[in-house]
Amino acid sequence: MKTNACAPKDMVYEQTQEILQLTDKKVSTKLPPPRPPTRNKARLYSGPDVFHRIDNHALQVARHEHDSFSELVRELTKACRSTLEKVRSIFRWITTKDLNAMMTQGEWTEASPYYFLQGIRQGAKSYHELFKRLCSYAGIPVRIIRGLSKSAGYRPGMQLDDVHFRNSWTAVHLDDEWHFVDCHWGARYVTCSGSGSDASSLCYSLDEFYFLTDPEDHVYMHLPDEPQWQLLAEPLTREQFVRLPVVKSQFFLYGLAFTANLASVLETATGRTEVRLRLLSQKPFAFSSRLECEGRIMEGCCVHYSDDDQVSFKLSLPSPGVFYFTVFVCDTVESNIYNNVCSFRIDCSRVKPSPFRSFPKLPDGYGPTRHGLKLGVFSENYYVVCDEDKLILNLKFRDAVSISHKLMYGDEPGASSVLDRLVFQRARDRSFVTFLLRLPERGIYVFSVYAARMTGDTSVLQCACRYLLQCNTSASGRIRPYPRTHQFWIRSRLHEPASGDLKLNKNVKFKLEVENADAVAVIVGQQWFYLRRSGDDDGKLWQGTAHTGNDARVTADVYVRYAKHERDFFPLLEYKLVSVD
């Protein structure tokens, strides 16, 4: 591009006349005093979609070069109907400029916006100066604020120094109130190449958080030198700022909040701690976390629980020391990328003995799943601590469901078939079930319940919830398994035999309650043993004797025929036949 032949004095006069044409009145050089805004971001506009027309216009303008700031601002603001739209158009033009893709060749005059962008690329200029200059051409007051920021390289609890964390940002005066805008952080973010590496790259992407950021959110990241420019009724001290957890913009964009006044440094004298976040959005989030100590990632030290309105991270630290804990969140509707949302330092002075070495790997966490929430699943607690080898769990559903289950010890899936026999559905209705469990060893167990609506495809049962069962004691003797229950074990009750193992060549007494039964039989191999209906309990009680035979390859199964089915029998219970007790 050719340089402008106008003399500097003439150029200044020309630009001054253009500014006066763009504005109805001369902008005062004295800025209004800082005060907390009375309207937050949500009251100024409902969401980024309201700027669809303005954003598209700014993107179109960005495709063309402009010889002067006045020409550029005229193009950016000619379609704007309010000061808010003017600020948005300028912000969007700046944040769409990818400095990595800019031409390196060519000469521009100081009057050209591209001369300024080149200066930003070379580190001689700043986004804030550019935003202020463009807004001044539009007659909008802007204040450049200087202070400290928890920027790239900052870790929780770290003291801020003026060398590494000195920063600047802007506030724009909009409708008689000051609001924060950060075109720098809104236009690009830093991604590190790996843990412990100094290498990093700049990736350009619009971050909506930094447009008209609310002061109570902004103060988590920026501390101005002048406290009044926090725009808070009660400004924070430097010490209070350091104590705030380290949060990223996605924390607020995802609608997250802390359930308590958590500090950036958590202390524990037991090796156990917990971080809880509130979920203000109904989006389907997925969660992950990372625990580090001295540059090493610690596996099996964290597990999380989530439901409709909160997510909780339980941590069990392996040893005393200083740890760094980071939470990641993925908006599963938008992408499969997990974004860093917040981080903490954990100072552990002592670790108490634990019945387990590590948590099992549960990428989806424990508690109700999304599928379970759709079925209305509910339990009083999904992390259960028991001090004996027997346990009772009650689980409710809003809908009528078919149910199955799986019990695992830690991360040992191979033992699931054996452990599943240690679970019994003692009572079950169409939307309620009581489980009896026997836990043979101290440690951590994962108990998963699968369900599907009875009115739907019952052949596909999906995980509805997961329990974490912490058993603090091992069984003193041999634990007898339960009989296996089938899908038709509904509104039934077992009196005997309670053990799922039956000895061969024995006459075994059976006694159980079954609703609406027309016939109940025990089948051993090819032998059928019909039970008799008792006159007690409204005809629900059935009892009789069956001989177990001498073939351990078969099972003893209890079948039922319902009154509405004249010929068909349906399985209720299954017993294993064994040669020794």
CATH of domain 367-471: 2.60.40.10
- 12 pLDDT band, cuts 50/70/90, is very low
Report the predicted TM-score, pTM, of the whole model to 2 decimal places: 0.83
Q: What is the pLDDT of residue 372?
A: 93
- Please give the class, per CATH, of domain 484-578: mainly beta
- 25 pLDDT band, cuts 50/70/90, is very low
pLDDT reading at 190 higher than 80? no
Read off the pLDDT of residues 227-251 as tens digits, 9 standing for 90 and up.
999 999 999 999 999 999 999 999 9
pLDDT reading at 352 higher than 60? yes
pLDDT reading at 182 higher than 90? yes
Residue type for 291, please?
L
Q: What percent of the chain has pLDDT over 70?
A: 87
pLDDT reading at 323 higher than 80? yes
pLDDT reading at 118 higher than 90? no
Mean pLDDT of the chain: 87
Please determine whether the domains at 367-471 and 484-578 fall in the same fold group of CATH.
Answer: yes
- 500 pLDDT band, cuts 50/70/90, is very high
Read off the pLDDT of residues 506-540 as tens digits, 9 standing for 90 and up.
999 999 999 889 999 999 999 999 999 987 667 88
Instruction: Taking residues 494-500, report their average pLDDT.
Output: 94
pLDDT reading at 202 higher than 60? no
The strand pair at 339-348 and 265-268 is best described as parallel
Instruction: Write the CB contacts of 579 (distance below 8 Å, at least 6 apart in sequence).
Output: 503, 504, 552
**H runs (alpha helix) in 234-307:** 238-243, 249-253
Residue type for 293, please?
C
Read off the pLDDT of residues 246-266 as tens digits, 9 standing for 90 and up.
999 999 999 999 988 899 999
d(CA 113, CA 94): 10
- Please give the class, per CATH, of domain 253-348: mainly beta
229 close to 196: Cβ distance less than 8 angstroms: no
Residue with tokens 């704007």: 80
- 199 pLDDT band, cuts 50/70/90, is very low
d(CA 51, CA 69): 23
- Where in the chain are the domains? 8-212, 253-348, 367-471, 484-578
Q: Return the closest-CA partner of residue 217 out of 225, 226, 205, 207.
A: 207
DSSP structure class, residue 399 = S
